Amino acid sequence: MFWTKIKRTIRAGFVSFWRNGYVSLASVLVMTVTLTVLTSIMLTGALLDSTLTSVKNKVDINVYFVKGANEEDIAVIGKALRGLPQVQQVEYISSEDALTQFRERHKDDELTLQALDELGTNPLGASFNIKAQDPSQYEGIVKFLEDAKGGNSGSIIDRINYTKNKQAIDALNRIIAASSRLGSAIIIFFVVVAILITFNTVRLAIYIFREEISVMRLVGASEMYIRGPFLTVGIMYGVVSGVLTLLILYPIMYWVGPITESFGTGLNLFAYFSHNFGYLFLVVVGTGVLLGTISSYLAVRKYLKI
């Protein structure tokens, strides 16, 4: 008996969905727009995270040692740096490697190479290229280096190239904090808008059947039998809208993907979309079903009091 009621309720929902084509179409379109915006925010967030990660990898600190610095003293500073929890990587560049890299960078500048050859000696000293675990931790690393510079082993430090990178690091920290706050605010805003719009759309459909609902209440129909078809309709809105959203975004991501990668973000949106399609399908369709169900439930409560 119970399963018979469930089947009848679902069947009534399907009939209501198809019989009210224009109302259903309006509901699906509104929810599709909402889900498209929410999915776009998710994809934009992934793109921003990839961009920030790419920028993080390009930000570093360079520590230059005086010419002829003792290798053992340099190793002592390197070991201390690697022991810091803030430090992700310390790359040692010897004076010979620095000269090789300098020649490679200026291979098309004959005057510079000629002047270098006339010196007869290597004017470049060894250096460290330091990357932090997080951009906000560079200040602490620089402070450590400044304190070490006053010690015996630190006296071999010529200069710390941090000032030039400080503006980029500070800007990156501001972007990370602002993007996190903005993303959260946008998601909350559109979730509220989606619930309100879907609520009113489903409520319109219920209003059309207000007389039928009243009759069903008068003849003793259970609340589940009255509520069930509208909940089914809400679920159908979510499923159809979710699938339609993914179908719309697929060609868009196919076109946008190579463009996002060429901008140096480190992420091809189409590749990300394809690789995470299963996850996105569950999130988008699940969100649509949740919004449709909640909105239908809230809207139909008013008419169950008739």
Domains belonging to the chain, first-starting first, are: 2-55+172-305 (no CATH), 60-163 (3.30.70.3040)
Q: What is the pLDDT of residue 185?
A: 81
Task: Check: pTM over 0.85? Answer yes or no.
Answer: no
pLDDT at 214: 67
Strand partners for 89: 131
End-to-end CA separation in angstroms for the chain: 26
Helices (H) and strands (E) in the chain, counts: 11, 4
- Cα separation of 286 and 274, whole Å? 18
Rounded Cα distance, 180 and 174, in Å: 10
Residues pairing with 62 in the sheet: 129, 161
Q: Which pLDDT does position 282 carry in this prediction?
A: 92
Q: How do beta strands 127-132 and 87-93 pair?
A: antiparallel
Q: Which residue from 137, 136, 126 is spatially nearest to 84, judged by alpha carbons? A: 137
| Rounded Cα–Cα distance for residues 283 and 195 (Å) | 16
Closest residue by Cα to residue 293 from 241, 251, 232: 232
d(CA 229, CA 214): 15
**Tokens found for residue 158:** 């010529």
CB neighbours (10 Å) of residue 206? Answer: 21
pLDDT of residue 294: 80
Return d(Cα 269, Cα 255) in angstroms, integer: 9
pLDDT by residue, tens only, the chain of 306 residues: 555 556 656 665 566 666 666 767 777 887 888 888 888 878 877 887 777 777 666 777 888 888 877 778 888 888 888 888 888 888 888 888 877 877 787 777 777 767 767 777 777 778 888 888 877 787 788 888 877 765 555 567 878 877 666 676 667 667 767 777 777 787 777 777 767 776 776 677 666 666 666 666 666 656 666 666 777 777 888 888 889 999 999 998 888 888 877 776 667 888 888 888 889 899 988 888 888 888 777 777 765 555
